[in-house]
Homo-oligomer: A and B are copies of this chain.
Amino acid sequence: MITIIAGTNRRNSTTLKIAQYYQELLQQKGITAEILDLALLPTDFAFSALYENNGKHPTFNMFREQITKFDKLLFIVPEYNGSFPGVLKTFIDGLEYPNALKGKKTALVGVSAGATGGVWALSHLTDILHYLNAEVLSIKVRLATIRSHFTEGKINTPLYNDLIQQQLDKLITF
């Protein structure tokens, strides 16, 4: 049982579609995966669910429960401005501190329009997850120049699909 985090709040994002593609692939392996879509967060959660409101926002707490629910997390992370979306970090800043992610087993997927596949995003996110004592699989899939490689809801590049399969198999037995 795995929670897939679609790591942006952009509506109808490619990131969400890639999350759905991963969900399908996991289903084919007999694994249930649920998607946590940051686009569905309360729009003012950065204020209404953090700091003095931490843990007190009923809707945001449902997202927190989705994190608690399974011990495996798959992050699909687009590259914005040389890192991952701020909203993903704000989401993490709203979790129960300091133990919400402790002991979680995580895998990271970077997505970019350009050539890097989100190198910085995945490096920064690894620092944060390690800081919070979540384990991070070494195999990180970087889906670069995504517009050529993802069409009609599927990754169409065999090399990328091989990497994805390797990553999922590692995550399942992590």
A residues adjacent to B (C-beta < 8 A): 9-11, 43-48, 50-52, 80-93, 97-98, 115-117, 119-120, 123-124, 126-140, 144
Contacts and interface: CB of A to CB of B under 8 A. Distances in A.
Contacts of A137: 135
Nearest to A90: B86
A124 to B, nearest CB: 5
Contacts of A120: 119, 123, 127-128, 131
A127 B124 contact: yes
B127 A9 contact: no
A3 to B, nearest CB: 18
Among A47, A93, A138, chain B packs the most CB atoms within 10 A around the CB of: A138
- Listed from nearest, the 4 A-B pairs whose CB atoms lie closest are A82-B131, A86-B89, A86-B90, A43-B44
A48 B52 contact: no
B124 A124 contact: yes
Given A11-B51, A120-B131, A138-B134, A86 B92 contact: yes
Contact of A130 (B51, B52, B98, B138): B138
A105 to B, nearest CB: 10
